[in-house]
């Protein structure tokens, strides 16, 4: 086949499994960081419109995503 190796069941379900593991690890790490902060991140960003905190949380999410993707990729 011409580049259709990703359609094989083993590759497809392996990719799906790694994606789910990556999302779960990302979610757990975000919850841990949310609990470590002295205030509610959601209320601070959405209700009080704290743009600086939103930028920091966004950068943190990108960093966690890069770490998780590097760990899953090998």
Residue with tokens 């757990």: 28
Pairwise CA distance, residues 7 & 5, whole Å: 5
Identify the CA nearest to 26 among candidates 73, 62, 55: 62
Tokens of 45: 């960003």
Please report, for the chain, the start and end positions of each structural domain, with discontinuous segments joined by +.
Answer: 22-73
CA 47 to chain centre: 23
pTM reported for the whole predicted model: 0.70
The 10s digit of each residue's pLDDT in 29-44 is 888 988 998 888 888 9
Flag residues of the chain having pLDDT under 70: 1-2, 6, 74
């Amino acid at each position: 086949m011409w580049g259709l190796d990703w359609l094989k069941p083993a590759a497809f379900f392996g990719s799906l499994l790694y994606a789910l593991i990556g999302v779960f690890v990302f979610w757990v790490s975000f919850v841990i960081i949310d609990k470590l902060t002295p205030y509610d991140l959601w209320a601070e960003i959405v209700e009080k419109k704290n743009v600086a905190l939103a930028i920091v949380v966004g950068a943190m999410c990108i960093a966690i995503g890069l770490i998780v993707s590097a760990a899953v990729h090998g």
